[in-house]
Amino acid sequence: MTNFKMNIDKLRKPLLGKEATVKRKKNCITQCLRNWISNRFFPRRINWKISILAVLILITLIYYYRLSQFDLKYINYSFHRSTRPTPNIRCSRLNGPRLPQNHDHKTDARLRSDPKVLVFVETMYSKLGKDIAELLVHTRIKYKIEVVGKSVPVLTSLDKGKYGVIVFEDLNKYLQMDKWNRELLDKYCREYFVGIIGFINPSEETLVGAELKGFPIFIHTNIQLKDAALNAASQILRLTRPGGTMWGTLPGDDWTIFQANHSTYEPLEWAHKIDDYGHEGLMKTPLTTIVQDHGLFDNIQRVIFGSGLKFWLHRLLFLDSLSYLSHGQLSLSLERKFLIDIDDIFVGDKGTRIKPEDVSAMLSTQRRIQNMVPGFKFNLGFSGKYYQHGNPDEDKGDDLILENIDEFRWFSHMWNHQQPHLYDNLTQLIDDMNLNKNFAEEKGIPFDSGYSVSPHHSGVYPAHELLYTAWKNVWNIRVTSTEEYPHLRPARLRRGFIHRNIMVLPRQTCGLFTHTIYIDKYPGGRDKLDESIQGGELFQTIVYNPINIFMTHMSNYGNDRLALYTFESVIKFVQCWTNIRLSSDTPLQIAENYFKLYPEETDPIWGNPCDDPKHQKIWSKNKSCDSLPKFLVIGPQKTGTTALYTFLSIHPSIASNLPSTETFEEIQFFNANNYYKGLDWYMDFFPVDVNSSHYMFEKSATYFDGDLVPKRVHALLPHTKLVTILISPAKRAYSWYQHIKAHGDTIANNYSFHQVITAGDTAPKPLRELRNRCLNPGKYSQHLERWLTYFPPQQLHIIDGEILKSNPIEIMDELQKFLKITPQFNYTGHLRYDEMKKFYCQVLNGERTKCLGKSKGRHYPPMEEKSLKLLQRYFLSHNTALVKLLKRIGMRNVPQWLQDDLTDSPT
Ligand code: A3P
């Protein structure tokens, strides 16, 4: 080996002079070292042993490496710990002065218009327009979108402005507006003190010093910028805390900057050109990127953005501009409630659980957060079954948590972390919950918080009634939270509801899941997490939502302690850049606050679990969407709905729901208090085995005129077909009166029909109520319009109630065509006119007929002429609107009764 080496050396070119001497010395040192190492450590006679050892070491390393990849259970990753991130938000302003409490932009001018934004967009699909709409949805600010170019929408209602601020996705479209519309809009802004926000859209052409048409201000476009800073003196800043600089390159290379020489203009934000250094490294004068127009030029206040909403800071400044320009009408509250749940306490695989030092870290981080968020305590959800299931060190971690019980808030989780929708047996569910309760009692864990969550949101929504019952029974639960109502995505649409007295709060996502435990494994890397914290998704979630409940997991507090890093960082960032005041409270208190803030959310809206794969996963296997009707007969009452129901029930492939003990053939789910009994209750009327070969339907005549019904039906049965029957509204009113009278109603028996329909607003309440029930359902056009805002006309079938009486066979044939039921059932031999009853009845055994009971097709005196005339006049406008509606939705023949009512109506 040595000889071979020497030969090679000989082949090499000889080096000359000093260079050669140095090189030779180096070679000598290297060679001597090699020889020494090889003699010292690798004598030839043991070389083979070394080789075996090396192979063994290699195998061991590969084995552990593979384990680390596929099975985290048994390895303690001490090497990961070196990557553990620590919060590094540096903010000189953290202890600086904060905004005075009363700084809310409020002036009396706000009373001139409604708290709503009018947004002009280029098209319904333009990116910035969508961003603006999403931001407004997230912050629950009301808005109307209008495509620019058409005429300006109606801007006033009575003596009030309909919009508090006008936004132009592309300011150019405002500047280029035709004279008429522009004058209209400007006049509105001046008269109602309404301001305008405009964005300069990126253009292909680079403009240098171009004048904004008609204004003493000039723009330069397509610039790349860095280091955004705020004008601390700007009156607009409210949510945004002034004084900071966001160092670094700003997103996009198409920014516009402004230059003005009129005192009406004041910068709101500045930045520097990307290569903006003068002599000796000094920065040049900053460039204005957002400018405020005080209205000194033309009496209209504006804020103009030189870039869209890609840069997070612009989102805050947009919200502040809305607040300022609407004189405080569109101001978000600065208060934010903040709760961090730690799910899975005691749950987790060996090697991923928390250790004593992690518990200490939790406690010290909690103390630091408490200084920034008064009332803050981590909220711990425990599953007792897995207590002491870690390695020895982790078991000590469990004990240290219990030694510090009083330092935390606590809530019950499932004993075995089992998903409640998997239980179909209430006793079993209650027994399992009791095991966790016994554990809590034994360990001294408080269990009176009234709060609980469920693994993977199971059972909360879609609601599994057994869970609600068991929660009440065992823990007296009053509050829970979920990400699933109405759906996981988009997060900005998550809402709360109350079901069976349990308040369900929307829960927000923070990006940490059970398996997000190491920073180097964070999806998208650490930069992604930092981006979310520093102005991105997590930061914005806190800015937009007055109440934030985040779910984390025990594993996020061990390992790289990502939850501690994330929350301490984001809280600091919020404090650094906003005037938001974070605080925390008990879940019960937070829930009460929530529903005070959003009382309209109290009532749930039951959606269809089969429309969302995530919902289906957390829905009992015993439940099926086949247990829902395919069409609904919606009424209105007294138009022949029972007759239609009976005829449908004769059909061999159509079946109705099981009868209700209270309302007989009608379930009356969508219109009344039954809705609060939940979806399980409704579905129990449609057992799967019965309806498997049937076309299921439900008839509740009260649905037609129920305010909330179309919305609720659409949420659950968006593809359902709707069947309605219409007769003369005057006749319908009279039939209702006779029906009520026959039922012994004292008002109907004490007042004539004419007295009822002419009762004034000062009449006794029961009389007014009867009047309303006679008149209101007959305003057909109003009610149908409401249905048609949720359903397309193709899903609606209108039956002429007079033809139903005179020729039900024709009606049933048409209905079957509409429902696309094949083969068609021939009703000819099944319905026959009954001379006694004076109506069509069902034929039994080819001979006898079975007619509807006494209460249908009653004999009563005809309506007085004066009442008929009065009602025809009363319903004139509604009937006229109905004709238009019927034509609009393609109904070819206007019913005879409608034509008669219109022609006979006294003018
Ligand atoms: P009257 O009893 O005032 O005549 P509903 O079932 O929606 O309450 O409607 C009852 C009305 O259905 C009856 O009102 C009757 O006029 C009408 N109807 C239509 N076809 C019928 C039938 N085949 N048998 C009995 N009533 C029928």
Q: What is the pLDDT of residues 616-636, one digit of tens each?
A: 999 999 999 989 999 999 999
CA of 654 to the centre of ligand 1 (A): 21
Nearest CA, atom 3, ligand 1: 735
* 36 pLDDT higher than 60: no
d(CA 81, CA 357): 12
Rounded average pLDDT over 408-421: 96
Output the pLDDT for position 535.
97
Query: 580 and 237 in contact (C-beta within 8 Å)?
Result: no
When pLDDT is cut at 50, 70 and 90, the band that residue 100 belongs to is low
CA dihedral (854, 857, 861, 864) in degrees, to 10, reads: 140
* 230 pLDDT higher than 90: yes
Closest CA to 534 of 87, 187, 907, 845: 87
641 CA: nearest ligand 1 atom: 7
Output the pLDDT for position 80.
44
Q: What is the length of the chain? A: 907
Output the pLDDT for position 549.
98
Which long-range contacts (C-beta less than 8 Å, at least 24 apart) are formed by 899-903? 900/728, 901/728, 901/729, 901/730, 901/872, 901/875, 902/876
Output the pLDDT for position 840.
98
840 CA: nearest ligand 1 atom: 23
Structure tokens at 532: 């979310």
Rounded average pLDDT over 375-384: 98
pTM for the structure as a whole: 0.88
Amino acid sitting at position 515: H
Query: 133 and 351 in contact (C-beta within 8 Å)?
Result: no
805 CA: nearest ligand 1 atom: 20
Rounded percentage of the chain residues whose pLDDT exceeds 70: 89
When pLDDT is cut at 50, 70 and 90, the band that residue 23 belongs to is very low
Output the pLDDT for position 37.
46
Output the pLDDT for position 744.
97
Average pLDDT of the chain, as a whole number = 91
Closest CA to 465 of 277, 681, 303, 663: 681
When pLDDT is cut at 50, 70 and 90, the band that residue 276 belongs to is confident
Nearest CA, atom 5, ligand 1: 638
Query: 471 and 511 in contact (C-beta within 8 Å)?
Result: no
Residue at token pair 């009129």: 262
* 111 pLDDT higher than 50: yes
Residues forming a β-bridge with 81: none
Output the pLDDT for position 88.
87
Query: 135 and 318 in contact (C-beta within 8 Å)?
Result: yes
Contacts of 47 (CB under 8 A, 6+ apart): none
CA of 639 to the centre of ligand 1 (A): 6
Output the pLDDT for position 92.
67
Rounded average pLDDT over 75-81: 40
Structure tokens at 150: 């058409």
| Greatest C-alpha distance within the chain | 135
pLDDT tens per residue, range 132-159: 999 999 999 999 999 998 789 999 998 9
Nearest CA, atom 14, ligand 1: 857
Nearest CA, atom 26, ligand 1: 857
CA of 638 to the centre of ligand 1 (A): 6
Strand intervals (E) in 785-838: 796-800, 831-834
CA of 2 to the centre of ligand 1 (A): 115
d(CA 512, CA 534): 16
Output the pLDDT for position 592.
98
**DSSP single-letter state for residue 829:** G
Strand intervals (E) in 595-690: 631-635, 654-656
Tell me which of 347-351, 685-689, 818-822 is least confident: 685-689
738 CA: nearest ligand 1 atom: 3
CA of 800 to the centre of ligand 1 (A): 13
Structure tokens at 556: 């996020």
Structure tokens at 769: 């109520």
Question: Taking CB atoms and a 6 Å cutoff, what residues make up the pocket around ligand 1?
Answer: 637-643, 701, 735, 738, 804-805, 839-840, 852, 856-858
Closest CA to 808 of 642, 652, 649, 643: 643
d(CA 126, CA 143): 16
735 CA: nearest ligand 1 atom: 3
CA of 892 to the centre of ligand 1 (A): 25
When pLDDT is cut at 50, 70 and 90, the band that residue 98 belongs to is low
When pLDDT is cut at 50, 70 and 90, the band that residue 284 belongs to is confident
Residues forming a β-bridge with 196: 166, 302
Output the pLDDT for position 848.
86
Rounded average pLDDT over 3-20: 37
* 72 pLDDT higher than 60: no
Tell me which of 315-319, 506-510, 846-850 is least confident: 846-850
Nearest CA, atom 16, ligand 1: 857
Nearest CA, atom 11, ligand 1: 640
637 CA: nearest ligand 1 atom: 7
Nearest CA, atom 17, ligand 1: 640
Ligand 1 pocket test: pick from 634, 637, 641, 642 the residue with the most ligand atoms within 8 Å of its Cβ.
Answer: 642
pLDDT tens per residue, range 856-897: 999 999 999 999 999 999 999 999 999 999 999 999 889 999
Output the pLDDT for position 441.
97
Rounded average pLDDT over 765-782: 98
Output the pLDDT for position 278.
59
Rounded average pLDDT over 409-414: 96
Nearest CA, atom 12, ligand 1: 640
Q: Judge whether 638 counts as a catalytic residue.
A: yes
**H or E stretch including 260?**
strand 255-260
Amino acid sitting at position 677: K
CA of 643 to the centre of ligand 1 (A): 6
d(CA 343, CA 481): 12
Ligand 1 pocket test: pick from 856, 859, 860, 897 the residue with the most ligand atoms within 8 Å of its Cβ.
Answer: 856
Output the pLDDT for position 82.
63
Tell me which of 11-15, 385-389, 598-602, 764-768 is least confident: 11-15
Output the pLDDT for position 73.
34
pLDDT tens per residue, range 784-839: 999 999 999 999 999 999 999 999 999 999 999 999 999 999 999 999 999 999 99
Output the pLDDT for position 507.
97
Rounded average pLDDT over 563-572: 98
Structure tokens at 850: 């079975």
Output the pLDDT for position 41.
45
Task: Indicate the SS3 state at residue 495.
Answer: coil
Nearest CA, atom 6, ligand 1: 642
Ligand 1 pocket test: pick from 638, 700, 773, 860 the residue with the most ligand atoms within 8 Å of its Cβ.
Answer: 638
Rounded average pLDDT over 279-292: 82
Structure tokens at 483: 């990400």
CA of 729 to the centre of ligand 1 (A): 14
CA of 641 to the centre of ligand 1 (A): 7
CA of 871 to the centre of ligand 1 (A): 20
Please identify which of the residues 116, 355, 638, 731 carries the catalytic annotation.
Answer: 638
**Per-residue H/E/C for 200-220:** CCCCCCCCCCEECCCCCEEEE
